[in-house]
Structures are given as structure tokens and as C-alpha cells.
Amino acid sequence: MRATDFSVKDALGHDIALSQYAGKVLLMVNVASHCGFTGQYAGLEELQKKFPKDFSVLAFPCNQFGNQEPEDNQEIQKFCQMKFHVSFPVFAKIDVNGKDRHPLYSFLVEQKKGFLGTEGIKWNFTKFLIAKDGSVLERFSPQTEPVAIQSRIQEALK
């Protein structure tokens, strides 16, 4: 199983096969518009621009942490475009924890545990670096700024 074996919904509710990203290095991030880490959108966009060919950020809005993503999918898209001018995909809202956890996130947390071996996502802007073959390389905490991941992305692109 690989991260690119899953499907997700786009903001309009259409199924999107992540297999279209096979062969690329990916940074999968659960995001929120009203979080103390929301400014990381700017850093994520910088990474997207720095590595435009074989890399993509994939953002997954989630409202499971302090009700920090209460808007609907269209409002989230508008916010990301107007405030941060993102060029990477921002998919439909998903759950990253609990009984309704999206299967993609069940896979991600199974592959790379968090601090002290925990599986659950602790907060918004937890990041997973995915290799070109769809395997999960590394998990980064919400406090890890996108720029700090740049060298790991470069290594994965080789």
C-alpha cells in the first residue's frame, strides 16, 4: 500500500485519485484557516514554488482541532487563494482522527508514528513527506516550519 493508492474529494466533491501524483515527492498536511500555524500556508507555497516539477504540497482541511476550520469547502478555497495565493491543491475537509478518520490518514499514521509512538494527529499542520514511490518517509510536527523540511524534500527528489 502507498499514499498514492487512495482517493480523496476535491472542494467540489469530486473523487480525485492520488495516483495522479505517483512519481512525485509529496508533502501532505492537515490544515486549518483559524489556527496559530495558519501562517505556514505561506511557507508551504514557497516550497511549492521552489520545487514546481516533481513535488507537490497536498492540503487537507480539518475541523477536529478547536473548531479552527468551520467554513465550508468553497470558503476554505477562497481564503487560501485570497490570503496566501496557494497554487497547490486544497482538498475537501476530512477527519484525520477518530472513527471517521479518512483511510489516507489511517495509512499515514500507521506508517509514521508521532511522538512516543502515538498514532493520532495532535494538531493542525502535521506534515507527512511522501517519497516518489508513495512510501511515507517522515512525519513532522505542527511546529516544524515548512522551510525546515526543504533539505529533506531535496534529498527525496534525487
Instruction: Please pick, among 31, 35, 92, 137, the residue that the annotation labels catalytic.
Output: 35
Element holding 150 (H helix, E strand): helix 150-157
- Taking every pair of Cα atoms in the chain, the longest distance, rounded to a whole number of angstroms, is 39
35 is a catalytic site residue? yes
DSSP letter string over 100-141? TB-HHHHHHHHHS--GGG--S--STT-EEEE-TTS-EEEEE-
CA atoms within 13 A of residue 103's CA, in its CB half-sphere: 10
Element holding 155 (H helix, E strand): helix 150-157
Residue 25, SS3 per DSSP:
strand
Rg (CA), the chain: 14
d(CA 133, CA 135): 6
Catalytic residues: 35
